[in-house]
Structure 1
Amino acid sequence: ARDPGVEILLYAAGRRQIDRALRMGVSLGENRVVLVAADFGDVPNAARSSADLDAAVDRLSSAVTSEPTLGRFDEPSVREYYDITDRELAATLGDLPAVVHERVALLDVEK
C-alpha cells in the first residue's frame, strides 16, 4: 500500500488484501478503535515535525478513553478470521495470540 495508514491496517490484520483487512473490525455502529500516531520519516509527503506529532497525541489523548487492548478477544472469531485450525494450534508451542503474532510477523516475508 502507498498509504502508511493502510499499511498499518494490513499488518494489524495480517493480510495483504485491503478488502480482507477491512473485515477485521469495520462495521456499522459504535466500535472500539485503536489510534496510531507515527513518524513516517522517509515516506513521501508524510513528513511531519515532532512538534506536529506531539500536538496530535495531545489532542487525541484528551478526546479518547484509554483501555487495555490485549487480553480479551473472541477466540472463535479470531480463529476463523486468521484460518487457525485445531491442528495448527496443536503443532505449535505457543497459544492463539502467539500464532496470530507469527502470522503478522510473516506478512512482510510473504510479499
Structure 2
Amino acid sequence: MAIYPVNGTFPVSSTQSPATVASTVNGLDATPTTGASSFGNVIDGLQALQGQSQDLAVKAVTGSVDDVHTATIAATRAQVTLELVAAVRNKGVDAFNEIMRMQA
C-alpha cells in the first residue's frame, strides 16, 4: 500500500514503527487516550478544521488567498475528518446497542 503525502512532504520515515507512524500523522499528535474527554478533543479539532476551512473559503472567494489549492485541501480535510468522526460515533452507538441486547 502506498502512502501519499497530503502537504507535499512525507511525515514519517520507513524505519518508524506502525505505532509511531499512527501517532504522528502530519505532525498531529494522534496518540490514543481513554475517556470521554479524548472524543471531545477530537470534536474540538474537527471544529478547528472546519473554522480554518471556512476562513480559507472566504479568502478564496474574495481573492485574498494566494493559493486556491490550500483552501480546497482544507475543505477536503475538514470533510474527511467529519466523515471519520461520524463513522466512529456510529460504530460506538452500534457497539453500545449490541451490548444492551446481550443477555446476562
TM-score, with length taken from structure 2: 0.22
- Larger helix fraction of residues: 2
- Greater relative contact order: 1 or 2 (C-alpha under 8 angstroms, separation 6 or more)? 1
Instruction: Point out the structure with max Rg over C-alpha.
Output: 2
